[in-house]
Structure 1
Amino acid sequence: MAARTARPSLYISVDIEADGPIPGPYSMISFGAAVAGRQDGGSYTAADPEAHTFYRELRPISEVFVPEALAVSGLDRDRLVREGADPDAAMAEFRTWVREVSAGAQPVMCGYPASFDWTFLYWYLMRFGGESPFGHSGCLDMKTLYATKARVPLRAAVKGRMPRELLSRRPHTHHALDDAVEQAELMSNLMLWQP
């Protein structure tokens, strides 16, 4: 029996901003995505992280929020209530974008760390539209990737201890698209890194 060849993976860096710790009671108020690169077999090709991006600010889904969490993004909640994108429409647009940029490849969400961003993103994709272009597990955590390659404990996998050549020169602004682009560079640097 011939071995099945896996489809290439297209890594999409995603960063979200939220007004609380968990989806449902709290809202994802913005999210950004940037194509990081493509892996085909053992070969990884970095993409220009500014070439294919997606960004939306969302209307909150509840009245509940944590002021300290909201303050991280600097977004105005009252403005988002009035002008934020409808979550159903935004998630439909995002699904379409993911399918377009990943044509011929399996899309994989990546983040640093991915756990918080994936929790909100996957919940929103399922709650608003009932499907995820990443499936239920198409997620890669860059923190774990670094810990594995560097052979350090997960709690030691922090940007302040990483070799400088791995880090993006872009600032971490807490604007979801800026941070997704920054993380896309980190992802490519990690994938190409030979420690």
Structure 2
Amino acid sequence: MPANAPINVTVGYPEAASQGYDVYFSADVETDGPIPGPYSMLSFGLVYAGAYDGTTFYRPPEYLEKYYVELRPISDDFEREALAVNGLDRAALIERGADPITAMTDAANWVRQRAGIGSPVIVAYPLSFDWMWLYWYFMRFSTTGSPFAHSRGFDTKTALSIKLRRMISKSGRSRIPETVRSSFPHTHNALDDAIEQAEIFANVFVMEEGHE
């Protein structure tokens, strides 16, 4: 396919292909601080966001395949500002939150099962924060490690900046063009926001370069 040719788009799911394909999972995390280890991931959501075989992007008709969990904190430290944003009850999660080993192992298994023969790729806007938390937690707690290996990530913010020929510093969420914004709300619930970002990702993936 020529470098600037439009991507073929199909609403649906890929058939098993001998050359393989990437399978995208939109991710969002809610935490009680800026970095994992000293602070805790309190919840995360993963949503099947599509697939790409190098020629065709397979866009899901709906965002119904999803994984969500709220976790027990792993340390005593937290920032009240972070809790004010996500609205999670940290004290309650100490009592009823999922065990991180169980949660991360179950999530890794869910991703691999959904991806099938495809290669799982994590998607976020921006990728750096969510990747840092999820990769650390997968490697620290999942009995099977990270389903996204050590580098399979897609940063929608970078993709948008390239397609619009913008600087990264001018590609924040407040600058997303109306044509690629999601119809789903941004609520700071990890699952809601993963669904919102899945739609933004698909819109950005298929948009033509230089067009808003």
TM-score by length of 1: 0.94
Question: 1:163: which partner in 2?
Answer: 177
Matches of 1:108 and 1:26, distance apart in 2: 25
1:111-190 aligned at under 5 Å gives the runs 111-129=124-142, 131-190=145-204
Of 44-53 and 122-131, deviating more is: 44-53
The reply on whether 1:50 has 2:63 as its aligned counterpart is: yes
Letter aligned with residue 37 of structure 1: G
- For structure 1, which runs of at least 5 residues remain unmatched after alignment? none
- Secondary structure (helix, strand or coil) at the match of 2:138 reads helix
1:86 match: 99
Q: Determine the C-alpha separation between the residues in 2 that align with 1:48 and 1:119.
A: 29
1:109 equivalent among 105, 113, 122: 122
Q: Say if 1:30 and 1:58, in contact at 8 Å, map to a contact too.
A: yes
Identity of aligned residues (%): 47
Counterpart AA for 2:74: I
1:63 aligns with 2:88: no
User: Alpha carbons of 1:48 and 1:177: their partners in 2 closer, same or farther (altered >3 Å)?
Assistant: farther
- Amino acid across the alignment from 2:163: K
Tell me if structure 1 keeps the 8 A contact 2:49–2:63: no
1-structure distance, mates of 2:191, 2:176: 23
Partners of 2:153 and 2:87 lie apart in 1 by: 27
Counterpart amino acid of residue 180 in structure 1: A
Once residues 180 and 52 of structure 1 are traced to their aligned partners in structure 2, the CA distance between those partners, rounded to angstroms, is 11
Contact residue 21 and residue 54 of structure 2 kept, 8 A: yes
Q: Distance in 2 between matches of 1:6 and 1:137?
A: 20
Following superposition, the deviation at residue 6 of structure 1 comes to 5.2
Q: Is the 8 A contact 1:11 1:107 kept in 2?
A: yes
Q: Deviations 1:141-191 (Å, cap 9, x if unpaired)?
A: 110010011110001112333321201011100000000000000011011
Task: Give the AA of the match of 1:112.
Answer: Y
2:206 to 175, 187, 192: 192
- What do you get for the CA RMSD once the two structures are aligned? 1.2
AA at the equivalent of 1:144? T
Q: Deviations over 1:54-102 (max 9, x none)?
A: 0000000000000101211101011100000000000011011101110
- In structure 2, C-alpha distance between the alignment counterparts of 1:57 and 1:188, rounded to whole Å: 26
Deviations 1:108-147 (A, max 9, x none): 0010001000000000000002511100001111100100
TM-score by length of 2: 0.87
Q: Structure 1's 134 and 173: CA in aligned 2 closer, same or farther, altered over 3 A?
A: same
Q: Offset of 1:41 from its aligned partner?
A: 1.3
